[in-house]
A and B are shown apart, each in its own frame.
Chain A
Amino acid sequence: MDIKLELIGTTLVVKIDGEIDHHTAAMLKSEIDRELNVHNVTNLVLDFDRVTFMDSSGIGVIAGRYKEITARGGKVMLIRVKPQVDKILEISGLKTIMECSH
Chain B
Amino acid sequence: MENYMKLEIPAKSCNESLVRAVVSAFAVQLDLSIEELADIKTAVSEAVTNSIVHGYSNMKGTIKVVCRMIDGCIEIEITDYGVGIEDIDTAMQPLFTSKPECERSGMGFTVMQTFMDELKVSSKLGEGTVVTMKKRIGG
Q: Do A and B bind each other?
A: yes
User: How distant is A6 from chain B, measured CB to nearest CB, in Å?
Assistant: 24
Q: Determine the residue in chain A with the shortest Cβ distance to B20.
A: A53
B135 at the interface (CB under 8 A from A): no
Which residues of B lie under 8 Å from residue A4 when comparing CB positions?
Answer: none
Count of A-B residue pairs with CB < 8 Å: 67
Contacts of A64 in B (CB 8 A): 103
Contact at A60–B104, with CB atoms within 8 Å? Answer: yes
Q: Indicate if the CB atoms of B114 and A59 lie closer than 8 Å.
A: no
Chain A interface residue number, banded: 20 to 34
Interface of B is mostly: helix
Chain B residues in 8 Å Cβ range of A21: 13, 16-17, 20, 45, 49
Within 8 A of A (CB), among B88-103: 102-103
Question: Known contacts being A55-B111, A87-B38, A91-B110, is A63 close to B103, with CB within 8 Å?
Answer: yes
Interface residues in A49-83 by Cβ distance below 8 A to B read 53, 55-57, 59-61, 63-64, 83
Interface residues of A (CB under 8 A from B): 19, 21-23, 29, 53, 55-57, 59-61, 63-64, 83-84, 87-88, 91-92
